[in-house]
């Protein structure tokens, strides 16, 4: 059961298959500490078994064995050995901590501001004027400076395959520098219990080669269509303005919803459901059934045609 607890259906949720520089360094530390602890464990168990056998009570032995205490030599040994083990563990840990915190040259770094909400993530690219949610795109081989903070409760930003994790604290900005050595999609999680929807506070990291990243960046910077191409989209836009814009465009200062810029290009809904019209209907009608604790209200008062028009409008936001 203990071994099965480490299993995961998603290979990108394992720290044992690193795809970034930080993750590789952290895995080396895991192996080093595991090896050190194994040596200590073997020594302790060997001494334990030896003492158990050597000094066991034998048949016909009624007297109390000689009591030995106050050995200066033994006390020095069992004090020095743990200190040496701690030093052996501390030296690479401190060294790697400073190495990972060293800021790369600004011109070679992509800066991403991360904000954690219950129970979703917002990503801003201040260098490019891009804001998105639930999915973050990065170029392969470049250092990414994540500036992380929270808006409500404590969270933790973690991408197991790339490295981490870093605390998400309201009122404080923490930083972590990551990179991806291979193109791919890597799962991100909140690693700090933050409420009923904590287990579903997921996001995805899309690592792309530079050309594909530039293409995505250009697409995100294109303005959204201002004129609906069909009557259904026009009606859907009207419904969106009446029901959704208060939270999803920052109009309501008390409720911050995810930015829906280029919503139709996202691969997931709410970070957990595959993006298709059927799942979007499920989410809109009853968000609590998908992600407990979410602040997203039900939109179960629209008739079938109105709901379809709203979905068509959201599908047009590319």
Residue 51 has pLDDT above 80, yes or no: yes
Strands (E), the chain: 109-117, 120-125, 130-133, 135-139, 143-150, 155-159, 163-168, 174-178, 184-190, 202-208, 268-269, 273-274
Q: Report yes or no on 63 lying in a domain.
A: no
Neighbours of 164 (CB within 10 A): 22
**Residue 30, pLDDT score:** 93
Q: Report yes or no on 60 lying in a domain.
A: no
Mean of the pLDDT values across residues 310-316?
89
Range of the domain at 298: 231-315
Tell me: do 131 and 261 sit in the same domain. Answer: no
Which of 222, 255, 277 is the last residue before a domain boundary? 222
**Residue 269, pLDDT score:** 92
Tell me: do 34 and 130 sit in the same domain. Answer: yes
Tell me: do 179 and 281 sit in the same domain. Answer: no
Tell me: do 191 and 272 sit in the same domain. Answer: no
241: CB partners within 8 A, 6+ apart: none
Q: Report yes or no on 3 lying in a domain.
A: no
Mean of the pLDDT values across residues 163-181?
93
Tell me: do 237 and 213 sit in the same domain. Answer: no
Which of 193, 222, 251 is the last residue before a domain boundary? 222
**Residue 9, pLDDT score:** 65
Number of domains in the chain: 2
**Residue 100, pLDDT score:** 85
Q: Report yes or no on 268 lying in a domain.
A: yes
Q: Is the dihedral of CA 207, 211, 212, 216 positive or negative?
A: positive
Distance CA 102, CA 317 (A): 39
Tell me: do 186 and 44 sit in the same domain. Answer: yes
57: CB partners within 8 A, 6+ apart: none
Q: Report yes or no on 109 lying in a domain.
A: yes
Distance CA 129, CA 126 (A): 5
Q: Report yes or no on 271 lying in a domain.
A: yes
Which of 199, 222, 245 is the last residue before a domain boundary? 222
Distance CA 86, CA 16 (A): 24
Which has the higher per-residue pLDDT, 189 or 237? 189
Q: Virtual CA dihedral for 286, 264, 295, 112, nearest 10 degrees?
A: 150
Average pLDDT, the chain: 89
**Residue 146, pLDDT score:** 96
Mean of the pLDDT values across residues 160-183?
94
Residue 5 has pLDDT above 70, yes or no: no
Tell me: do 165 and 197 sit in the same domain. Answer: yes
Query: What share of the chain has pLDDT > 70, as a percent?
Result: 93
**Residue 8, pLDDT score:** 59
DSSP letter at 127 equals: T
């Amino acid at each position: 059961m203990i071994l099965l607890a480490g299993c995961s259906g998603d290979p990108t949720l394992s720290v044992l298959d690193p795809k970034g520089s930080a993750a590789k360094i952290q895995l080396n530390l895991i192996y080093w500490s595991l090896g050190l602890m194994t040596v200590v464990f073997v020594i302790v168990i060997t001494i334990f078994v030896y003492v158990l056998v050597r000094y066991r009570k034998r048949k016909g032995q009624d007297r109390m064995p000689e009591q030995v205490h106050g050995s200066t030599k033994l006390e020095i040994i069992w004090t020095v050995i743990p200190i040496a083990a701690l030093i052996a563990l501390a030296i690479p840990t401190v060294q790697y901590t400073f190495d990972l915190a060293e800021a790369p040259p600004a011109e070679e770094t992509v800066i991403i501001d991360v904000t954690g909400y219950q129970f979703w993530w917002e990503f801003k690219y201040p260098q490019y004027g891009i804001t998105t949610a639930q999915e973050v795109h990065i170029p392969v081989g470049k250092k990414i400076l994540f500036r992380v903070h929270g808006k409500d409760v404590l969270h933790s930003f973690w991408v197991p395959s790339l490295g981490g994790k870093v605390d998400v604290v309201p009122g404080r900005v923490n930083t972590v520098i990551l990179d991806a050595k291979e193109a791919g999609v890597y799962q991100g999680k909140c690693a700090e219990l933050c409420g009923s929807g904590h287990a579903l506070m997921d996001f995805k990291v899309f690592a792309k080669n530079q050309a594909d990243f530039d293409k995505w960046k250009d697409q995100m910077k294109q303005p959204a269509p201002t004129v609906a191409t069909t009557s259904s989209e026009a009606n859907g836009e009207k419904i969106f303005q009446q029901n959704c814009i208060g939270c999803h465009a920052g109009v309501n200062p008390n409720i911050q919803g995810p930015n829906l810029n280029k919503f139709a290009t996202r691969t997931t809904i709410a970070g957990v459901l595959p993006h298709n019209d059927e799942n979007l209907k499920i989410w809109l009608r009853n968000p609590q059934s998908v992600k407990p604790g979410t602040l997203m209200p039900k939109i179960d008062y629209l008739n079938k045609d109105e709901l379809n028009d709203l979905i068509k409008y959201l599908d047009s936001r590319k």
